[in-house]
Amino acid sequence: MSRRTLTHLHKLKAKGEKITCLTAYDASFARLIDQAGIDILLVGDSLGMVIQGHDSTLPVTVDDMIYHCQQVGRGSDQALLIVDMPFMSYATPRTAFESAARLMGDGQAQMVKLEGGDWLTETVQMLTERGIPVCAHLGLTPQSIHQLGGYRVQGRTDIGAECLRDDAVALQSAGASLLILECVPGNLATEITALLDIPVIGIGAGVECDGQVLVLYDLLGITPGKRPSFSKDFLQETGSIPAAIEAFSSAVKNGTFPGPEQTFE
Positions annotated as catalytic residues are 182
Q: CB of 64 within 8 A of CB of 26?
A: no
Q: What type of residue is 22?
A: L
- Report angle CA 84, 85, 89 to the nearest 5 degrees: 165
Concatenating the DSSP letter of every residue in 150-176 gives SS-----SHHHHHHHHHHHHHHHHHT-
Q: CB of 100 within 8 A of CB of 129?
A: no
